Structure 1
């Protein structure tokens, strides 16, 4: 049995025991590796195998790093990024959505004395070895791709991204409202144009899935906000609290919109919360956790109400247009396909009761911030939703 096999058997697969016994086993395994520099190459290969197994169990690079960041420390994140980068180099092509995830991998390596380094590696491998199987949100690397990756995002999405970035950066609420409204206008046009084009050319496509991080603090409110944005754009969001993400199911163009709008509204909401807290402190009140929780919960709920009302109004307008007769059945068919795909992916999903807000000032400030977001603003398009 090689040094690596003995070390892994002790640190990863030793059953039972107290925490002290597990720590002692980890120290023993790290000592074995630290004393055998010739084992480094095999240790790295074993790590890449664990990463490859994670892909086969449904995980993606961003999912793995999110969990490592939550459960371990920065050094483990850097080690995981290095393993992921090394493992994916062996594939001639990767799933389309992986490019952005890989581009965000932290690049700085972490080194230390041999014992500390071996300890960190074994701690990371222990987490990777115990990753459960989850529902895949796309093809596994190595699977033949049905279409080549697009060279870049559509020009319309670039314009939307730029508008939302300006809305996030400005310190003037009125300007942020106008920029967000214009971005929403372009989002509606992009999504409906994609649906109409797919129907016209009989393009064979179905719902896809993408995972979006929903991380603490205040993850419940963030998940509610993401769900509201998803439903308003004909998508379904399923929150996996244990893993720190929601899986959003929808057609490609709509998923792009959901990612962009949710991220922007979250940034704007956090900025509005900071401004509200400054007002509270100026009035002599200390910043509290309950204020922030109530603010974000109200912000998410209020936006959900407004997005739902906007969707119903726009649908009614589209139904009244004679030119929309061909598009409305397409949209209805897409919504049914999305629901069917989500139900098939998560047959055991359940509803969760949300703890109510307890801070009246936080709740009111959150509602006011949601009203200022103006996210329901959409230009009425002839013959379009």
Structure 2
């Protein structure tokens, strides 16, 4: 069996799809990974994958570059001839599907979230919807990570419900992300782990921190994640002001998120909308209480007042109130919330659930494809 996995970065493949890849390699599948080079391709090769470079303009829409990306994928698909192609993230989902259709290869897409383009009513969002409506006629299967996103695509006529299915996010390796013995920090510590874009609620996090610090000056507010130079990214000057004023401590990006989570008493994600946020899944697996916005994706992970608190999106004051409620909890209650997080992950978000669904879908597609080929051969004969 030959599988191709196409994502917008090699980092994304290695950090979010390694469990799935290893399950394929354990079955002696030949795994081809396709993404721009960013240093993580060497890790994929070390795991046993074959790596293929492509140029991809991740930010914005440049028709000439996007068409060139489709052509690159088309040539690779014709060369590799995978049995099934797995697409993740927006441009691979859209343009990869076109290339696969031209190549006659079965496709499984994964909509991991609606993304920035759907959060604003603009010309770009209209174009994106039209693209999805056209392109999503062609996949054999489309996975969604929460029921709200699935409903949105069906209600807008962007996908045929018959080819859709739900996944518990990207899942989490519950053996890798393990709780440690509970111990509250002397200085209560909040942590937000996300790419530094406005839609993750970074500004609301900083504003809420200011409010909390007025009454509780010893509280720590940590921020970890990659900077983003897109129009939606947090400005460098703004970030530096937060740091200089003692509002936030920025730890930069990391390849060891477990060590960073261990620093925190509570994980925060004030996002405007998510698929199913990987950072919350990993944090919950490590038995961390969570504060997140009451929006699609986040509500899949957080049960209000059970394993954390839900707050209003784009509302710094409400976020601050939930932070104060969290830091005011007795140790026993804080510990109980963390335990509830771990239990929820074990019950619903173990990555083995995701792997099993992919394996079943791939086997079904290959069987159908083989049957069609056999039927065509008989008719030709």
TM-score between the two structures when normalised by the length of structure 2? 0.27
Structure with larger Rg: 1
More strand by share: 2
TM-score between the two structures when normalised by the length of structure 1? 0.26
